[in-house]
Amino acid sequence: MSGACCDRTESSEVADACVSCGQRARHVEWLTVAALLRTPIPPKQKFWICQETNCDVVYFGENPGATYRSDALNVEPGFKNPSGDALLCYCFDKRRRDIENELRTSRDSAIAAEIRTAISAQACACEVRNPTGKCCLGAVNAEIDAARLRIKTT
């Protein structure tokens, strides 16, 4: 019953809990869900994404039964995969292991530079390739930090 002036488009993006694990779930565009599902596309509705590694739910929608696990997607979400195979950049097929390997021989990540160049050229399709619907650079940068720590301690 609240007026349109009270719609919380921004804050509702982070305020919801996963239907399975209860952890924070972010709003994700229906178009992204439709593009990533290998099943027939669901009716238009609000969708959320759970990025917890140990939770098997990836997407859930407003409608009952609109819950999708990794095996319903046409790509395995990297955030559900703790191994070196985990995809980080879905546009250019970069995996956790690729970043770790290049940082063993180089101070800087050529992969991150390559992705930044593609972003400036608007040559990414994250909205329909990345299960989060967002740019991968945040996850790539987090992985660079994590990989540097792993290399230092091994």
Binding stretches for Zn ion (CB under 5 A)? 18, 20-21, 50, 52, 55, 57
Q: Tell the smallest beta-carbon distance from residue 52 to Zn ion (Å).
A: 5
Q: Is 140 helix (H, G, I), strand (E, B) or coil?
A: helix
Comparison of 17 and 41: residue with beta carbon closer to Zn ion: 17
The backbone torsions φ and ψ at residue 10, rounded to the nearest 5 degrees and listed phi first, read: -70, -55
Q: Tell the smallest beta-carbon distance from residue 21 to Zn ion (Å).
A: 3
Q: In the chain, count H helices and then E strands.
A: 5, 7
Comparison of 79 and 90: residue with beta carbon closer to Zn ion: 79
Chain center to CA of 107: 26
Q: Tell the smallest beta-carbon distance from residue 50 to Zn ion (Å).
A: 3
Comparison of 77 and 147: residue with beta carbon closer to Zn ion: 77
Neighbours of 82 (CB within 10 A): 11
Q: Tell the smallest beta-carbon distance from residue 71 to Zn ion (Å).
A: 15
Matching residue, tokens 């972003």: 119
Any idea what the Cα angle at residue 98 is, between residues 97 and 100, rounded to 5°? 60
